[in-house]
Structure formats: structure tokens, C-alpha cells
Amino acid sequence: MARGIALPNLLFFTDPARVPDPDVVAERLPRGAGVVFRAFSAADAVDRGRRLRRIADQRGLVLLAGADEVLAETIGADGVHL
């Protein structure tokens, strides 16, 4: 559960090596899907995470930060994927 919300059936796991612009994918996910933002300590993690937060809000997506509680709090994620 993420903030009392059931986890989505469809999750998109970001991966900078395979999907350099996760915003494009997130913008196409159906309402109710989720994004697991895996920042891998990237220098632009906060900016990218905040962009994903805005997209998630607009599209009705659940946003989780991958294994980084501080990043999750900073970007306003719905939870942390461990």
C-alpha cells in the first residue's frame, strides 16, 4: 500500500540506460498505473523526480521512488519501492 492506495497492476520502472526520457513513457501510461523512479544517484534526480511528480498528478499515476527515502520525501513521491 502507498499512502493507503492499492498498488497499481501496471508499473513502469525507469532505467536511464534503456529509457533516457521517462517523461515520455509516463505521459502515455493509463490512469491508475505507477512509476517507480530509479534515480541511481543521478545529478538531476530531484529535477527529474519533480517532473515525474507533476506528470503523475496530471495523469492520475502513483509515483514511487526506488530505494531512496530522502528522494521520495524531496519529490513528494507516494512511497518507496525497496
Report yes or no on 69 lying in a domain.
yes
Which pTM was predicted? 0.92
- Please name which of 40, 2, 34 lies closest in space to residue 20, comparing C-alpha atoms: 40
Give the side-chain half-sphere CA count within 13 A for 47: 4
Report yes or no on 34 lying in a domain.
yes
Query: Looking at the predicted structure, is the pLDDT value of residue 2 above 60?
Result: no
Q: What percent of the chain has pLDDT over 90?
A: 90
Report yes or no on 5 lying in a domain.
no
Report yes or no on 53 lying in a domain.
yes
Region 18-42 average pLDDT = 96
Q: Domain count of the chain? A: 1
Residue 3's pLDDT is 56
Q: What is the pLDDT of residues 31-66, one digit of tens each?
A: 999 999 999 999 999 999 999 999 999 999 999 999
Report yes or no on 33 lying in a domain.
yes
Report yes or no on 31 lying in a domain.
yes
Quote the mean pLDDT of the chain. 94
Report yes or no on 4 lying in a domain.
no
Residue 1's pLDDT is 43
Q: What is the largest CA-CA distance in the chain?
A: 32
Domain that holds residue 17: 11-81
